Amino acid sequence: MRHVSVQVTDNYGTHVKLVSALEDSGAEISLVHSDVVQGLELPRCGKLKIRGVVGNHVDTDLVHLSVTLAEPAGREIQRYCNILCAVCPSLDSEQMILTGEVVQLLHDSVSAVNVVTRSGTDTDLDLPVDSVTGDDDDLPPASVDDHGTGRSNDQSLSSNITDLSNSDSRKANAETLRQEQLADESLKGWWGLAKKQKGNFVVQDGLLYHRERILGQEFSQLCLPKDRRSQVLNLAHDAFGGHLGAKKTRDRIRLSFTWPTLSADCKRYCQTCESCQKRARKTTRDRVPITPIPRAEVPFTHWFMDCLGPIFNHKVEYNYCLVLVDSATRWPAAFPLRALTAKNVCEATIMDDNRSANASLK
Per DSSP, the three-state class of 286 is coil
Residue 242 CA to residue 275 CA, distance in Å, equals 10
**Residues with Cβ within 8 Å of residue 252, at least 6 apart in sequence:** 236, 240, 241, 244
pLDDT at 17: 86
What's 315's DSSP letter? -
pLDDT at 120: 40
The per-type count for the chain, helices as H runs and strands as E runs, is 9, 18
CA geometry: angle 278, 283, 289, nearest 5 deg: 105
pLDDT at 360: 58
Using alpha carbons, select from 158, 22, 163, 37 the residue that is nearest to residue 103: 22
Residue 289 CA to residue 324 CA, distance in Å, equals 26
pLDDT at 8: 86
Q: Which CATH architecture does the domain made up of 189-279 adopt? A: Orthogonal Bundle (1.10)
pLDDT at 162: 34
Residue range(s) of every CATH 3.30.420.10 domain in the chain: 302-361
**Residues with Cβ within 8 Å of residue 194, at least 6 apart in sequence:** 201, 202, 203, 208
Residue 233 CA to residue 239 CA, distance in Å, equals 9
**Are 115 and 87 a contacting pair, CB within 8 Å?**
no
Per DSSP, the three-state class of 298 is coil
Which of 3.50.50.60, 3.20.20.70, 3.30.420.10, 3.20.20.80 would CATH assign to domain 302-361?
A: 3.30.420.10
Cβ-count burial 36-70 (b if 16+ within 10 Å, e if not): bbeebebeebbebbbbbeeeeeeebbbbbbbbbbe
**Residues with Cβ within 8 Å of residue 320, at least 6 apart in sequence:** 307, 308, 309, 310, 311, 336, 337, 338, 339, 340
Q: Which residues of the chain have pLDDT under 70?
A: 14, 51-55, 71-78, 110-172, 283-287, 352-362
Residue range(s) of every CATH 2.40.70.10 domain in the chain: 2-159
Which of 2.40.70.10, 3.30.1490.440, 2.70.98.60, 3.40.190.80 would CATH assign to domain 2-159?
A: 2.40.70.10
360-361 sheet: strands from edge to edge: 332-337, 320-326, 302-308, 360-361
Dump the DSSP string for 118-164. Answer: ---SPEEEB---SS-B-SS-BPPPEEE-TTS-EEESS--GGG-SB-T
Q: List, in sequence order, every residue forming a beta bridge with 6; answer none if it has no partner.
A: 19, 69
Residue 280 CA to residue 288 CA, distance in Å, equals 22
pLDDT at 128: 39
Residue 199 CA to residue 192 CA, distance in Å, equals 10
Residue 66 CA to residue 68 CA, distance in Å, equals 7
Residue range(s) of every CATH 1.10.340.70 domain in the chain: 189-279
Indicate yes or no: pTM above 0.75: no
Using alpha carbons, select from 165, 133, 125, 163 the residue that is nearest to residue 27: 125
Q: List, in sequence order, every residue forming a beta bridge with 3; answer none if it has no partner.
A: 22
Residue 305 CA to residue 282 CA, distance in Å, equals 35
pLDDT at 359: 57
